Structure 1
Amino acid sequence: MHSYDLVVVGSGPAGRRAAIQAAKLNKKVLVIEKGTRVGGVSVHTGTIPSKTLRETALNLTGWRERGFYGRAYRVKQEISAADLRRRLLITLDHEVDVLEHQFSRNRVHQMRGTARFVDAHTLEVTKDDGEVVRIDSRSILLAVGTKPFRPAHIPFDGKSIVDSDEILEIEGLPRSMIVIGAGVIGIEYATIFSALDTAVTVVESRDTMLDFIDKEIVDDFAYQLRDRNMKLIFGQAIESVVKDGDRCHVTLQNGRRLSAEMVLFAAGRVGATEMLDLKNCGLEADKRGRLAVDPLTFQTSVPNIYAAGDVVGFPSLASTSMEQGRIASRHAVGVPAIEPPKFFPYGIYAVPEISTCGFTEEEVIERKIPYECGIAHFRETSRGHIMGLDTGLLKLIFSLKTRRLLGAHIVGEGATELVHIGQAVLNLKGTVDYFVENTFNYPTLAEAYKIAGLDAWNRMGEAPGHATGEDPE
């Protein structure tokens, strides 16, 4: 029996941050990873691969230069799946090497194998070589992540009808694709393949997409997608998916029939908890395999067992998973954790990018906060002209009562980088006057903050520097 202060099951963003945090507190830590290499879903099938695929597609197609040279412009005329995979493998090797080094220098122990609970303090691990060992730990953190939801009525074959893991292994780029699901993953892959000149149709059973994003941003995003001939079908569930020769046929509940070379099913993910034998430790996952936790400590209903990352559900971001892992780890080893700032950014690495931080306009209205908005289009900036941008939008929402920034929402090139300016002002309770009175580098896309700030300031009709009162949190 091996004993530890903390055992972490899974080495994705939540698991690795948790393990390193506990190790830095001089605790004896073990990470159990069932994959052949560390990194979890984030490194091998999720965050890093999809973002690498996106960057490769934009580079090889010359997408960013088409504002100058036209839609027919290409850097590489014939792009293959092998071209995309080449850069992907290089990136993954680098990520794994960095993570292995971090574990090594922080003296985090590692074990390859599949873990299951014997009781609340004991795990049984079946190692890759078949050996079975028992691990005892004061605390256990579950960071097992998720896997694609694969309903029985979808005839997955790994080639023409694939999930969001299998899409990375396809042998050729399809001329046409149907994406089932307009969540973050579905939209990211749909827009990436659209940039690769695949004719893409997105089908979503709900009437809207990306409901947690400001509606004005989603509307602008949808306009850009339709403008490049992507088809967006909302409010229609899938009746059937059938493979017939070289074509896949998707029938909708209203009887409409769609046809394409490939179908990507990306309608949700489920927690990878089925192998853990949770009943042995007193836990139970919901119907999607997720675990309920205290939102401040990430402690489950069993006091010494914690969970963090995608397995606990929304927002399922690599960035938030890391912070959840850090907080859970500190609580698990008996060290207080400072609550993180209220506002954190969401990043959707579609083409174009979307990033948002703070309240949406819909949330501000629901909270009955008097407000005003400022808008800036990237084409209004000199940097936007230099880059050949004719799209891109920054929206800032301010309180009329206190003049504080309430939300920053961006769609367009570099959105996931630009959002951090808004994040800083939000968490420091800055006002519209910050954007009006400060100087931004010229020429940059960040100037859009000043343009949007001035737009709001002009509409607000008050002199700067008179913030009073407090807005509802």
Structure 2
Amino acid sequence: MSRKQEVVKGNFVKYDAVVLGAGPAGEGAAMKLTKSGKKVAVVDMREQLGGNCTHVGTIPSKALRQTVSSIMRYQRDPMFQKVGEWRAFTMKQVLTHAHRVIQKQVETHTRFYDRNRIDIFYGRAYIQDQHSVVVFTPEGSKETLVFKELVIATGSRPYHPQGLDFNHPRVFDSDTILDLDYTIRKIIIYGAGVIGCEYASIFIGLNHKVDLINTQSVLLSYLDDEISDALSYHLRDQGVLIRHHEQIDHLDTFDDHVVLHLQSGKKIKADAILWCNGRSGNTDGLGLENVGLTPNSRGQLTVNERYQTNVEHIYAAGDVVGWPSLASAAYDQGRCAGSNIGGEENVKPVTDIPTGIYTIPEISCFGKTEQQLTEEKVPYEVGQSSFRHLARAQITGDTVGELKILFHRDTLEILGIHCFGNNASEIIHIGQAIMQNANNSVKYFVETTFNYPTMAEAYRVAALNGLNRLF
């Protein structure tokens, strides 16, 4: 007899907790709850586990980025330039590796759920009342799940403004761009947030012309100014045309091209357009009105520090609650929600989050920026290490980038770390660990021996550079 059959009472199934969504937030909540001895079920729209993160978000886009990065490295290495001529790739050809990674991820997550005896229901969830969810299966049947606690972790999807025909074969969002199956020469990317910048570096790496339309005055304004400037310079150096302070007026679509009309009067013609301007929470059709929950205009739910909505026994985590909309944070948010449901005390909300932006090369940061410290009138100093001076970067050819350490002039406490360059999202965690240590001090990096040659050596170089400014 299966576990599902064991808990059936009449024509419904009873659980301590039901989790809607099998992405990072849902998985984090489900695993934490089952480890606490709770009887847990997960409901997901897809027929495979992993959520949007695995199937159309983080995993495929980062696998795509890795393939493009490898192509770019091959192109710039003089040893291999004589081997063969450049050839054009379609997105589907480049994504071959990504599909293998996706399947491996699905298999891994499936083992996690099986090992922890968590019941999975595939289908559309509808919250019927305060303590029951109806699951409409792809086969046309329905099952009713009764719960004590509910976690909404349904994720998000690309925002679709009115007036754009996303069914047109030349109009894409960040999910559907992965299905691009014809060769293009030029693409318009509307929206220069994280996703827009990542895809700009990917498409320019595939030797396409890219117009990046930024509705703001600078790229990723929340970054340290120097890092934002470095990204802008590098994208332009690669050939990306960045247009700041622009807004769409309308879009004309044709069989073989699109024309974007901007409110400034500019007209831009390209083979396709990729819309990357915002995301919406997946809350429509969930039946939230039946439990007294109302999402905001972007479909997002408001939660407190316990990840609890204004309905006491209903929690939410991940992209559906908005900031920071990162897979890493979503998993931890889900675990926090599960911990609070399980009755744990002093559960800290997810706040100290490293930024990871997978442009080519990457960007990652943790802590305060120079502009923040200046506004707060904190006496700080700067230590810098340029990658072009590091032996390991010279060996690999990844000489673009820098590591910057911001630290207090008097206490030597590290206040912020900012990295632009290959493997930045890995390098950042060394600094993060020291910053969150009770003995946080920039002196750690000059009193510790690093392997040579490594990219981690950048910390020692930057620390020495900064300390030398004090005397």
Instruction: Compute the TM-score of the two structures, normalised by the length of structure 1.
Output: 0.93
> Root-mean-square deviation (CA), in Å?
1.8
Q: 1:267-278 residue pairs with structure 2 within 5 A?
A: 267-278=277-288
Which residues of 2 match residues 102-113 of structure 1 at below 5 A? 102-113=112-123
Task: Quote the offset at 1:343 in angstroms.
Answer: 2.9
Matched with 2:203 is 193
Deviation of 1:75 (Å): 8.4
CA contact (8 A) 1:392 1:413 kept: yes
2:413 to 399, 404, 408: 404
1:11: which partner in 2? 22
Aligned to 1:90, the other structure's residue is in SS state helix
| One-letter amino acid of the counterpart of residue 227, structure 1 | D
Equivalent in the alignment of 1:372:
381
Distance 1:221 1:26, change over 3 A: same
Are residue 339 (structure 1) and residue 348 (structure 2) matched? Answer: yes
Range 124-133 or range 161-170, more displaced = 124-133
Counterpart Cα distance in 2 of 1:74 and 1:221: 30
Contact preservation (8 Å) 2:88, 2:206: no
Match of 2:4 in 1: none
> Which residue is 2:34 aligned to?
23
Equivalent residue in structure 1 for 2:369, among 346, 356, 360: 360
Instruction: Say if 1:65 and 1:388, in contact at 8 Å, map to a contact too.
Output: no
C-alpha distance in structure 2 between counterparts of 1:342 and 1:204, whole Å: 28
- Preserved contact between residue 317 and residue 330 of structure 2 (Cα < 8 Å): yes
1:255 Cα deviation from its structure 2 partner = 0.3
Letter in 1 for 2:48: R
Aligned residue runs from structure 1 range 449-460, under 5 A: 449-460=459-470
Per the alignment, residue 393 of structure 2 pairs with 384
1:357 deviates by: 0.8
Q: Distance in 1 between matches of 2:57 and 2:91?
A: 17
Cα–Cα, structure 1 residues 337 and 144, in superposed 2: closer, same or farther, change >3 Å?
farther
Per-residue CA deviation, residues 375-432 of structure 1 (Å, 9 max, x unaligned), is: 1110111111111233111111001131100111111111011000111011115211
**Structure 1 residues 83-98: aligned runs within 5 Å:** 83-98=93-108
Residue 27 of structure 1 deviates from its aligned partner by: 0.8
Does 1:126 pair with 2:136?
Answer: yes
CA shift, 1:238, in A, is 0.6
Whether the 8 Å CA contact 2:185–2:209 is kept in 1: the answer is yes
Aligned amino acid, residue 281 of structure 1: V
- Report what 1:466 is aligned to: none
What CA deviation, in whole Å up to 9, does each residue of 1:295-348 have, x standing for no partner? Answer: x21111111000000111111110000000000011123233542685331111
Q: 1:118 to 1:157 in 2, by over 3 A?
A: closer
Q: How does 1:247-266 map onto structure 2 within 5 Å?
A: 247-266=257-276
Q: Secondary structure at the residue paired with 1:279?
A: helix
Question: 43, 63, 71: which is aligned to 1:32?
Answer: 43
SS of aligned partner of 2:296: coil
Preserved contact between residue 179 and residue 186 of structure 1 (Cα < 8 Å) = yes
CA distance in structure 2 between the aligned counterparts of 1:347 and 1:192, rounded to whole angstroms: 16
**Structure 2 unaligned runs (5+)?**
1-11
Residue from 70, 92, 100 that aligns with 2:110: 100
Q: In structure 1, what is the Cα distance between the partners aligned to 2:444 and 2:111? A: 41
Question: Aligned partners of 1:75 and 1:105: how far apart in 2?
Answer: 49
Distance 1:7 1:73, change over 3 A: farther
Q: Is the 8 A contact 2:219 2:232 kept in 1?
A: no
Cα deviations across residues 219-252 of structure 1 (Å, max 9, x unaligned)?
0111011011111111010111111341211111
Q: Give distance in 1, aligned partners of 2:236 and 2:421.
A: 15
Return the match for 1:41 from 52, 57, 72: 52
CA 1:17–1:251 in 2, change beyond 3 Å: closer, same or farther? same
Per the alignment, residue 2 of structure 1 pairs with 13
Is the aligned partner of 1:175 residue 2:185?
yes
Contact 1:5/1:333 (<8 A) preserved: no
C-alpha separation in 2, matches of 1:285 and 1:107: 32
Question: Against the structure 1 CA distance between its residues 421 and 73, is the aligned structure 2 distance closer, same or farther, given a 3 Å change threshold?
Answer: farther
Instruction: Compute the displacement of 1:70 (Å).
Output: 9.4
* Post-superposition CA distance 1:425-460 (Å, at most 9, x none): 111152111112111110011111111101110112
Superposition TM-score, scaled by structure 2 size? 0.94
Instruction: Work out the number of aligned pairs and report it.
Output: 459
Residue 169 of structure 2 is aligned to residue 159 of structure 1: yes
Q: 1:237 aligns with which of 247, 258, 261?
A: 247
Structure-2 separation of matches of 1:347 and 1:97: 25
Contact 2:383 2:465 in 1 (8 A): yes
Q: How far has the Cα of 1:173 moved from its partner?
A: 3.5
Which whole-Å CA distance do the structure 1 matches of 2:131 and 2:367 have between them?
39
Which has the higher mean CA deviation after the structures are superposed, 401-410 or 64-73? 64-73
Q: Identify the residue that residue 350 of structure 1 maps to in structure 2.
A: 359
Residues 144-167 of structure 1 show CA distances to partners (whole Å, capped at 9, x for unaligned) of: 000111111112235211111110
Q: 1:208 to 1:446 in 2, by over 3 A?
A: same
Comparing 12-21 with 129-138, greater Cα deviation is found at: 129-138
Partners of 2:114 and 2:44 in 1: how far apart?
A: 15
Q: Is the 8 A contact 2:386 2:403 kept in 1?
A: yes
Q: How does 1:200-349 map to 2 (within 5 A)?
A: 200-294=210-304, 296-336=305-345, 338-339=347-348, 343-349=352-358
Partner amino acid, structure 1, of 2:36: L
Distance 1:156 1:300, change over 3 A: same
Instruction: Give the counterpart letter for 2:299 in structure 1.
Output: G
Specify every segment of 5 or more residues in structure 1 that has no aligned partner in the other structure, as ranges: 462-473
Instruction: Measure, in 2, the Cα distance between the counterparts of 1:69 and 1:222.
Output: 29
How much has 1:85 moved relative to structure 2?
2.7
